[in-house]
Amino acid sequence: MLRWAIVFFIIALVAAIFGFGGIAAGAVGIAKILFFIFLVLFLVSLIGGLMRR
């Protein structure tokens, strides 16, 4: 699951670069959504890892 969180984070960064650079106006919204998905997946992975110990 952590691998998917990292993938979503990288996609969000790429979308943010294109969106904030003015190349694609719609990419800003996608970047925000993907960033929050990454954040949720990261927190779930972090809590899951702490629960295993």
Region label for 39, one of left (φ > 0), alpha (ψ between -120 and 50) or beta (otherwise): alpha
Tens of each residue's pLDDT in the chain, 53 residues: 678 878 888 887 887 777 666 666 666 777 788 888 888 988 998 899 888 87
pTM for the whole thing?
0.51
**Which tokens go with 39?**
């954040």
From residue 13, alpha-carbon distances to 17, 29, 44 in Å are 6, 12, 20
CA distance 3 to 14: 17
Q: Count CA atoms closer than 13 A to 35's CA, side-chain side.
A: 11
